[in-house]
């Protein structure tokens, strides 16, 4: 036993030295990585009235609506392996330790089984027992897992953090929020949205789908039908043809086109500068849906920059933290892309970010100028690499792959919610805007009266 322990010490010290070395790209030093991904392949979250595919058909991930499937688990394990290759195994960066270190990594998920299990599957890819990369020498007393029969050798469970879904306005962009409902209802009164909803071809499509589905189908609930049809056809192609004789690929494309346009409207795209009751509707929708997240991402970077030159206790946690992951949804990714002006580049030709899509924000510091930059990389689908750089498409980055952090700060400041979201969601913006308008009108009348009286003296 003593011989093995003594033999292992130089190895552990060598790994420690490697893990603390700066990761450089020319004069640029990698400071931190933040990854936001969509969960993997799942069952439908709900369906339409006439659908013969009941909940009993969906047995994956514990069974029921909206659960992660084995395909989804595999997709995220493979994404985790890609992240490990890029940031652990030196392809190209040996940034994180080979062995899981809780001081380096924090994983945050929405409170949904599919996102929690996606995060867990992702960590299996990053820190599972692949080729025994996360295993110390045999019989060493400092192993991180129970060395007993039945436990996968070398496997260390990684903590996944979450909060109740109803309180999560960071990652669950479609959860209950009265303010978002109010602003969206205002958006529907604009000529842009109302004329689209009332277009003859759109209304005809909704009418046909309503007849097929046995319930009212409209542009706002169309996503339910879109998801159900897509997944049912994938998993039960024979039964799908029998159960859904009215389906055609052409019809599905029409559903996709309308659903994608509604998604854009809901994220403020196409509504830039459109004013209703004194509110910039496009800006407010982006604030509500993506403002908290872009602030969180920026604040992590800003804090990392501030602490890079400080040895104070208040910076101890930040200095050690290197990888921050968010396990969320397609709507989360699309809200962020819409806010940053790259939705059209990330999702082509239309639709949602695909299963296991992942936006990676790398934070870099120029060691000569001490200026901080960020780089946005997008993993588009399960067969993609981590080489598609989106930063150059962000307005303000001037076509550069490395963009000054000041640009992200500008987005953060511009779209920062007016108050903490749990409070802002309950804020009656209509009474506020009307009372503000009334107060302004009263002030204007008093001013004019004062000028009239003064001039008559």
CB half-sphere exposure, 440, CA atoms < 13 A: 7
The residue annotated as part of the active site, out of 101, 239, 330, 384, is 330
Q: Which own/partner contact pairs does 344-349 have at CB distance under 8 Å and 24+ positions apart? A: 345/390, 345/393, 346/378, 346/380, 346/390
**Helix 292-307, helix 405-414: angle, nearest 10:** 140
* Annotated catalytic residue, options 39, 300, 329, 379: 39
49 is a catalytic site residue: no
In degrees and rounded to multiples of 5, residue 430 shows phi and psi of -70, -45
Let me know: does 41 contact 71? Beta carbons within 8 Å. Answer: yes
Asked if 36 and 337 touch (Cβ cutoff 8 Å), the reply is no
Half-sphere exposure of residue 402, counting CA atoms within 13 Å on the CB side?
A: 13
Structure tokens at 210: 């309503």
Give every CB contact of residue 353 below 8 A, 6+ residues apart in sequence: 38, 330, 333, 334, 337, 346, 347, 380
Contact 85, 57 (CB under 8 A): no
Q: Calculate the alpha carbon distances from 191 to 177, 180, 195, 274 in Å.
A: 24, 19, 6, 10
Alpha helices by DSSP H, listed for 375-457, are: 405-414, 421-424, 429-456
Structure tokens at 274: 């459109």
Give the single-character DSSP code of 220.
T
Active site residue 39: yes
Which positions are catalytic?
39, 330
């Amino acid at each position: 036993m003593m011989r093995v322990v003594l033999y292992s010490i130089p190895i552990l010290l060598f790994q420690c030295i490697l893990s603390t070395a700066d990761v450089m790209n020319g004069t640029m030093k990698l400071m931190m990585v933040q990854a936001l991904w969509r969960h993997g392949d799942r069952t439908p979250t709900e369906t339409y009235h006439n659908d013969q595919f009941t909940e009993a058909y969906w047995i994956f991930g514990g069974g029921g609506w909206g659960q992660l499937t084995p395909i989804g688990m595999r997709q995220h394990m493979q994404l985790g392996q890609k992240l490990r290759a890029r940031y652990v195994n030196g392809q190209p960066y040996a940034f994180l330790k080979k062995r899981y270190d809780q001081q380096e990594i924090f994983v945050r998920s929405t409170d949904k089984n599919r996102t929690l299990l996606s995060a867990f599957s992702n960590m299996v890819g990053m820190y599972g027992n692949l080729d025994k990369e996360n295993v110390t020498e045999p019989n060493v007393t400092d192993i991180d897992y129970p060395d007993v029969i039945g436990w996968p050798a070398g496997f260390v469970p990684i903590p996944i953090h979450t909060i109740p879904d109803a309180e999560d306005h960071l990652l669950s962009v479609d959860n209950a929020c009265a303010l978002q409902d109010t602003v969206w209802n205002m958006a529907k009164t604009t000529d842009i949205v109302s004329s689209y909803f009332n277009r003859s071809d759109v209304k005809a499509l909704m009418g046909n789908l309503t007849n097929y589905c046995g319930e009212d189908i409209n542009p706002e609930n169309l996503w339910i039908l879109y998801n159900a049809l897509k997944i049912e056809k994938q998993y039960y192609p024979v039964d799908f043809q029998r159960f859904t004789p009215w389906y055609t690929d052409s019809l599905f494309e029409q559903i996709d086109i309308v659903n994608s346009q509604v998604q854009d409207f809901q994220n403020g795209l196409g509504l830039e500068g459109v004013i209703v009751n004194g509110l910039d509707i496009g800006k407010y929708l982006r604030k509500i849906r993506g403002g908290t997240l872009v602030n969180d991402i920026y604040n992590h970077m800003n804090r990392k920059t501030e602490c890079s030159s400080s040895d104070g206790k208040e910076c101890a946690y930040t200095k050690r933290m290197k990888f921050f992951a968010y396990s969320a949804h397609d709507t989360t990714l699309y809200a962020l892309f819409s806010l940053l002006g790259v939705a059209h580049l990330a999702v082509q030709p239309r639709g949602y970010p695909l299963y296991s899509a992942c936006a990676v924000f790398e934070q870099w510091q120029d060691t000569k100028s001490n200026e901080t930059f960020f780089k946005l990389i997008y993993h588009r689908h399960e067969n993609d690499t981590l080489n598609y750089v989106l930063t150059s498409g962000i307005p303000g980055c001037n076509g550069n792959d490395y963009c000054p952090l000041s640009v992200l700060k500008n987005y953060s400041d511009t779209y920062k919610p007016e108050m903490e979201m749990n409070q802002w969601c309950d804020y009656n913006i209509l009474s506020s805007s009307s009372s503000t308008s009334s107060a302004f009108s009263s002030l204007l009348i008093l001013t004019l009266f004062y000028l009239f009286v003064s001039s008559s003296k």
